[in-house]
Amino acid sequence: MKKVYNSASDALDGLLQDGMLIAAGGFGLCGIPELLIDAMVEDGVKDITIASNNCGVDGFGLGKLLDTKQIKKMISSYVGENAEFMRQYLSGELELEFNPQGTLAERMRAAGCGIPGFYTKTGVGTVIAEGKEHKDFNGETYILEEGIFADLSIVKAWKADETGNLVFRKTARNFNPPAAMCGKVCVAEVEEIVPTGALDPDTIHLPGIYVHRIIQGAHEKRIEQRTVRTA
């Protein structure tokens, strides 16, 4: 199977449809699939639901899809850096499903492993638990969370080989692997593609069986919040 494509638009060809559920990797602005997001903006796909830790910042990352009103709903754990996100949510233009950070990651990972749901103590007694099944185990109450089975996963990695084995760097490893696992199809953008066999098997974070299409590109290294102090 050919997995290496020439561009983000080529890699997404035939995969995008209105109303779909997309799992997007990234943590803040670290490890976000910015080239694939730009291709989605250009495509114009609309009414999409995106499961991602956050929604980028104003004018960058997933924030671009907010600007063009292509996102119908966000499934997120943190939304504090995006003024347009806040405006759309408070005005009723955007649906929001809040998840605790670990729960969101596990919902993706569970789906990638074929697990439809799991019980967790996180969120018990809060609004997170409203409407969810409760069950006691050994005297402790848990709530049922369902796996996120996405139509498409878009992720960003540091390196890939031609069969789709991926290596992530540092913080980019937080959400990208589980996001990649839970999609019916996974498209990865990477900084470098190396020949098959060039990666040490012990350094591979996600096996290529989860990855269907790959592109290589140049990426912008933005800082979400720059903090400086006087010398």
Per-residue three-class SS string for the chain: CCCECCCHHHHHCCCCCCCCEEEECCECCECCCHHHHHHHHHHCCCCEEEECCCCCECCECCHHHHHCCCEEEEEECCCCCCHHHHHHHHCCCCEEEECCHHHHHHHHHHHHCCCCEEEECCCCCCHHHCCCCEEEECCEEEEEEECCCEEEEEEEEEEEECCCCEECCHHHHCCHHHHHHCEEEEEEEEEEEECCCCCCHHHCCECHHHCCEEEECCCCCCCCCCCCCCC
List beta partners, residue 136: 141
Query: What integer pLDDT is reported at residue 31 of this predicted model?
Result: 94
The ranges assigned to domains in the chain are 8-117+149-216
Query: What integer pLDDT is reported at residue 19 of this predicted model?
Result: 98
Question: How many C-alpha atoms does 125 have within 13 Å on its Cβ side?
Answer: 4
**61 with 27: CB under 8 angstroms?**
no
Q: Whose structure tokens read 């997933």?
A: 62
Query: What integer pLDDT is reported at residue 74 of this predicted model?
Result: 97
Q: Whose structure tokens read 């890939």?
A: 160
Q: pLDDT tens, position by position, for the chain (231 residues)?
A: 799 999 999 999 999 999 999 999 999 889 999 999 999 999 999 999 999 999 988 899 999 999 999 999 999 998 878 899 999 999 999 999 999 999 999 999 999 999 999 999 999 999 999 999 999 999 999 999 999 999 999 999 999 999 999 999 999 999 999 999 999 999 999 999 999 999 999 999 999 999 999 999 988 777 777 788 887
Residue positions counted in the chain: 231
Q: Which fold has domain 8-117+149-216?
A: Glutaconate Coenzyme A-transferase (3.40.1080)
Query: What integer pLDDT is reported at residue 152 of this predicted model?
Result: 98
